[in-house]
Structure 1
Amino acid sequence: MIEAPDRSSDARERAFHPGAAARKPTRLWRPRRVLVTPAALEHAHGRAIAERAEGQGLPVEYLTSNRISAKQGDPGRPYAEAKATLAIVVAPPSKLKLQPIPPSADWRFDLAEGCPAHCQYCYLAGSLSGPPITRAYANLDAILTNLDAYVGRGNVTSASAERAAEGTTFEASCYTDPLGIEHLTGSLSAAIRHFGAWEAPVQLRFTTKFAAIEPLLDLPHRGRTRIRFSVNAAPAARYEGGTAPLAERFAALGAMAGAGYPVGLTIAPILPVEDWREAYDALLADAAEALADVPAPDLTLELITHRFTPGSKEVLEGWYPGSDLPMREAERSRKFTKFGSVKYVLPADVMREMRAFFHERIGMRLPFAKILYWT
């Protein structure tokens, strides 16, 4: 049995304090370069994003072609230059052909691609090609109206008796963190309004490591958007550069639940860090404290252990050459994805031990929560 973390003396000073975190202004991403394609300007939403960027005093470049490329400069800084760039583009037709995204949701759709954060374990490293420029999609109307054709056709929540109450679920954060760029795009607010007005059994889902939730609090969401905050134990959270501090994320969790939103925690990537039992128990205790004043919060948990592929490891080591993130193949189990590619996961005995721990501690710390999956 794990003892409750010490909340006395010095430990109390490090504990989560929702009120103090809520008073701190949230730092917003300010890209050093905003690129606007001609095609994006053909859409009202694209023009609105460009106007937002100009209104915030950001350097906006209006391109003469729809081709996006990284800035030519220091050859040793292509990653940094790309991460500091926002491009306003039109989503290609392939983005309107939705793909299933188990175990999270029935379907994946994208408001943007790329993320301004600097997470040293970023799974996008093995998913996206080229420089990691954040691309916001201008053809938002087409993206949202396209969702109608997919209602009732999924195989995750639509076909599950256990999760049927969620309706057809649409995941908006597979290739981006939509809240991290919301102050520039407004796309997430538009999607929440769309789902709130949609007379169908549907749910919008997104995960975030940011905390600037003020624009979302008063939206007419009608309970059809579930915001999940991606969190990790303190020893692992140091790998999450450029994100909101954990205390701010927990304060935002409480605020969104208080505004009637279904909420969630995505604990990821779970790592067997030093004293991991105590570290993750403290994380769950902070979550419970954040929701202490919310009556009957609708809370889900998604538990995702760390894994990597040879390709993602190579990219990440190029992006973060000084990282000590544990990615030694000899310490992992070698598995194959459904596509036949190799991935490295935690050893089976470690997985069993950690899974049992999380189920026990969640039952004690957050007895009202529903665990959606462990992977």
Structure 2
Amino acid sequence: MIDALDLPLDAREAAASPERHKPARLWRPRRVLVTPAAREHAHGRAIAERAERLGLPVEYPASNRIGAPRGDPRRAYAEAKATLAVVVAPPSKLRLQPIPPSADWRFDLAEGCPAHCQYCYLAGSLTGPPITRAYANLDAILANLSDYAGRGAVTSASAARAAEGTTFEASCYTDPLGIEHLTGSLSAAIRHFGAWEAPVGLRFTTKFAAIGPLLDLPHGGRTRIRFSVNAAPAARYEGGTAPLADRLAAMTAVARAGYPVGLTIAPILPVEDWRAAYDALLADAAAALADIPAPDLTVELITHRFTPGSKAVLEGWYPGSDLPMREAERSRKFTKFGSVKYVLPAEPMREMRTYFHERIAVRLPYARILYWT
């Protein structure tokens, strides 16, 4: 496992006390880099000003190129995880891609995440040390979305989900709430969708709980806030995130503010006594929504999987982790791109799927299960 002193203070506190019931501290990067191109955008300048008001060390490099930390890989990882870079999203980010089974389209407000999840999904997707990059050209990113409205082929083409309109997923490559106090990008996106008079929907998933800035926004019911949750035995794999109790309390608060909400149960792991562990999770979620009349709740069920590439990266980031990633205990599958991935074997997968569907029907009878994957 990475040495605790290599982690930012908020990650060290989360590791030392994973069951804290007070809101997790907001991420305070040790470095904020604002590129020349980012400073040409009002949103980029606003992020820099926000960071300066928070007393963070803001640097203004002469080049738009963000150099990767060098030296010992563990130190390079820690330095990258403690860095926020404000950059301009490249043109490729404006060419949206479908993101099944979650949404019609994926768009990115940022890339990278301040959390320290030992199963991190970004490990196989991002290249180089995991610096968090926030995009300064927010106006162009949001304006570009209108070209994709009415063109979805994922949720829009589903009879069960067509009522959601054209859906846009904002949390594929980042946790936008985890950096919202620094960027303001998520609030801007929620206001954008709230004012968008069309059958569209914004979606994002978070492991954080600082939802205060979102509660009074004019969201128009067009943003679904989903909270990524897991059974208690998996908490040790989610360093630097808000405790489960805080995430569920945040879900209660945004539901009261009129937002549609969701649970993203991920990654589902074969933890010891998994039936009782996950049933306790569902009971906690039900208790969090007990006083909400007719909550608009969805559930997404995502089992753990990894690729040879992501495993290698994660073992470098978190040496000594006991996250179960033994190929001999998994089924070998191929992605639509022809690459290899390792998933839970077929029989445990069927058993878990049946169990989740049965217990959700009991614990959360008003919930809509969107998919199991």
Is this a same-fold pair by TM over 0.5? yes
1:343 to 337, 341, 354: 341
Superposition pairs of residues 54-203 of structure 1, within 5 angstroms: 54-72=52-70, 74=72, 76-203=74-201
Tell me how far 1:237 sits from its aligned partner: 1.9
Q: Which residue of 2 aligns with 1:26?
A: 24
Tell me how far 1:184 sits from its aligned partner: 0.1
Normalised TM-score (structure 1): 0.93
**Is the partner of 2:300 in helix, strand or coil?**
strand
User: Are residues 1:313 and 2:303 paired?
Assistant: no
Listed one character per residue, the Cα deviations across residues 266-323 of structure 1 (whole Å, up to 9, x for unaligned) are 0000011000000000000000000011100000000000000000000000000010
Listed one character per residue, the Cα deviations across residues 126-168 of structure 1 (whole Å, up to 9, x for unaligned) are 0000110000000000000000000011111211221011000
Tell me how far 1:71 sits from its aligned partner: 3.6
Give the share of equivalent positions with the same residue, in percent. 87
Q: Report if the CA contact (8 A) 2:108-2:172 is conserved.
A: yes
1:39 to 29, 37, 57: 37
**Is the partner of 2:36 in helix, strand or coil?**
coil
Tell me how far 1:70 sits from its aligned partner: 2.7
User: Are residues 1:360 and 2:339 paired?
Assistant: no
Q: Report if the CA contact (8 A) 1:118-1:242 is conserved.
A: yes
Cα distance in 1 for partners of 2:334, 2:71 equals 39
- Stretches of 4+ aligned residues off by more than 3 angstroms: 71-76
Cα distance in 2 for partners of 1:163, 1:76 equals 43
**Is the partner of 1:238 in helix, strand or coil?**
helix
Q: Which residue of 1 aligns with 2:9?
A: none
Q: Report if the CA contact (8 A) 2:166-2:200 is conserved.
A: yes
Q: Report if the CA contact (8 A) 1:207-1:230 is conserved.
A: yes
User: Are residues 1:223 and 2:225 paired?
Assistant: no
Cα distance in 1 for partners of 2:174, 2:326 equals 27
Give the residue type in structure 2 aligned to 1:172.
A
Tell me how far 1:73 sits from its aligned partner: 5.4
Cα distance in 2 for partners of 1:237, 1:347 equals 23
| Contiguous gaps of at least 5 residues in structure 1 | 1-16
Q: Which residue of 2 aligns with 1:51?
A: 49
Listed one character per residue, the Cα deviations across residues 8-66 of structure 1 (whole Å, up to 9, x for unaligned) are xxxxxxxxx9xx94xx3431000000000000000000000000000000000001010
Larger mean Cα displacement after TM superposition, 190-199 or 150-159? 150-159
Q: Which residue of 1 aligns with 2:327?
A: 329
Cα distance in 2 for partners of 1:125, 1:285 equals 31
Give the residue type in structure 2 aligned to 1:283.
L
Q: Report if the CA contact (8 A) 1:157-1:166 is conserved.
A: yes
1:261 to 259, 262, 267: 259
Q: Report if the CA contact (8 A) 1:231-1:237 is conserved.
A: no
Cα distance in 2 for partners of 1:74, 1:238 equals 25
**Is the partner of 2:234 in helix, strand or coil?**
helix
Q: Which residue of 2 aligns with 1:271?
A: 269
Give the residue type in structure 1 aligned to 2:48.
A
| Contiguous gaps of at least 5 residues in structure 2 | 1-18
Q: Report if the CA contact (8 A) 1:122-1:316 is conserved.
A: yes
**Is the partner of 1:307 in helix, strand or coil?**
coil
Q: Report if the CA contact (8 A) 2:36-2:61 is conserved.
A: yes
Q: Report if the CA contact (8 A) 1:30-1:58 is conserved.
A: yes
Q: Report if the CA contact (8 A) 2:24-2:241 is conserved.
A: no
Cα distance in 1 for partners of 2:70, 2:40 equals 27
Tell me how far 1:76 sits from its aligned partner: 4.0
Q: Label 1:271 to 1:39 Cα distance change in 2 as closer, same or farther (>3 A).
A: same
Cα distance in 2 for partners of 1:40, 1:159 equals 37
Q: Which residue of 2 aligns with 1:7?
A: none
Normalised TM-score (structure 2): 0.94
**Is the partner of 1:88 in helix, strand or coil?**
strand
Larger mean Cα displacement after TM superposition, 65-74 or 99-108? 65-74
Cα distance in 2 for partners of 1:265, 1:326 equals 23
Q: Report if the CA contact (8 A) 1:299-1:369 is conserved.
A: yes
Listed one character per residue, the Cα deviations across residues 83-124 of structure 1 (whole Å, up to 9, x for unaligned) are 000000000000000000000000000000000000000010
**Is the partner of 2:332 in helix, strand or coil?**
strand
**Is the partner of 2:79 in helix, strand or coil?**
helix
Q: Which residue of 2 aligns with 1:248?
A: 246
Q: Report if the CA contact (8 A) 2:32-2:56 is conserved.
A: yes
Cα distance in 1 for partners of 2:104, 2:163 equals 13
Tell me how far 1:251 sits from its aligned partner: 0.2
Q: Which residue of 2 aligns with 1:210?
A: 208
Q: Report if the CA contact (8 A) 2:229-2:263 is conserved.
A: yes
**Is the partner of 1:206 in helix, strand or coil?**
strand
Q: Label 1:75 to 1:234 Cα distance change in 2 as closer, same or farther (>3 A).
A: closer
**Is the partner of 2:298 in helix, strand or coil?**
strand
Question: How many residue pairs were aligned?
Answer: 355
